[in-house]
Copies of this chain bind each other. A is one copy, B any other.
Amino acid sequence: MTTGIVERIRTNRRELARLLTRIENGSASAEMAELYPHTGKAHIIGITGAPGTGKSSLVNALAQHYRQNNLTVGIVAVDPTSPFSGGAILGDRIRMRDRSGDSGVFIRSMATRGSLGGLARATSDVARALDAAGFDRVLIETVGAGQSEVDIARAAHTTLVVEAPGLGDDVQAIKAGILEIADILVVNKADRPGLEITLRALRAMLDLGHRAERIAQVKEMHHGQMMTVPAVSKAVPDENTAWQPPIAQTVSTEPRGIEELAGHIAAHRDYLQRTGLLVERERARIQNEILERVRDEVLSRLLSRIDEAQWRDLIARVQSRTLDPAGAAAVLLE
């Protein structure tokens, strides 16, 4: 009898690394199905923020803190802005050096050009594999700003958005978009000048964000395709019990403020459990994932049935402007 995948990745780091490579290559569906019953135990924490905020060193410090408390840590460092692995690999090696010899930490860096959808899916599956492999905390680190983090953060239970003082006068543009995914705000490099300005800006943004969120939700009702799905009941905690993102201050290089930050993370986890949001959010995540998989599969089946001559003809007609792209899609759908 062969040993199951869960047993193998729990006892052998090389097997785990190989599985993660298969996940990245999209050839691990059998293994993912096998390990799925063993997931759901890890606390998955997303860490995002603009370049220059010291995210990597913060992740480093947080991992060390967890290790000192006898918790095992899996780290996924994702760089969606990197066409291939240059930056991510470098960061990986620097961090590796700090923690070499500790089998309670496992680090994987991921970077890809090509489809971001593929990267988000792979990241989520890698986090799931680390969960099944028995890591207590899984940290997903991504470079900040844009839809990429929002997608990748969806895989996390708790999302940290990292800022730093003095990064320029219109970092606000980034914050506005990214604040809505923040469960905890971290001002790293808190020993730098400009701390008070950053804190004030973040507090103002948090006030604004609460109003913005409501407007954005209404907007999404109109635009979001997911709304056509049979609705799953949504437990929204009321104003009084709603989570207010705390602002943590850290100096990850010393390190300073890491224990307090870990406290906020634990409190957020408690909050999710207490309010039932942990279950609700997982349900929403599962719903999205199933739909994405169905969509991808339907598309690839459809593509395999398209006649090449017809396809060329349609493109030629759209290019000569005798047909518009929506019209061409309608022809294919017939």
Contacts and interface: CB of A to CB of B under 8 A. Distances in A.
Give the bracket for the number of chain A residues in contact with chain B.
Answer: 35 or more
A260 interface: no
Nearest to A86: B176
Given A80-B147, A172-B87, A225 B332 contact: no
A100 B273 CA distance: 54
A151 to B, nearest CB: 8
A242 interface: no
The A contact surface, by secondary structure, is helix
Given A52-B168, A81-B176, A173-B79, A297 B115 contact: no
A137 to B, nearest CB: 20
Given A83-B180, A146-B145, A303 B321 contact: no
Interface stretch (A2-10, A246-254, A306-314): A306-314
Nearest to A328: B290
Interface string A279-310: 10011001101110111111110111010100
B173 A230 contact: no
A66 to B, nearest CB: 25
B312 A302 contact: no
Contacts of A173: 51, 79, 81-82, 87, 143
A32 B326 contact: yes
A116 B147 contact: yes
A287 B315 contact: yes
Given A148-B146, A299-B298, A223 B304 contact: no
B174 A51 contact: yes
A241 interface: no
Interface stretch (A14-22, A193-201, A211-219, A262-270): A211-219
Interface in A131-158: 143-149
Contacts of A144: 145
Interface in A49-71: 51-52
Given A230-B306, A298-B298, A315-B232, A329 B115 contact: no
A290 B314 contact: yes
A293 B29 contact: no
**List of 4 A-B pairs having minimum Cβ-Cβ separation, nearest first:** A146-B146, A81-B177, A293-B329, A36-B324
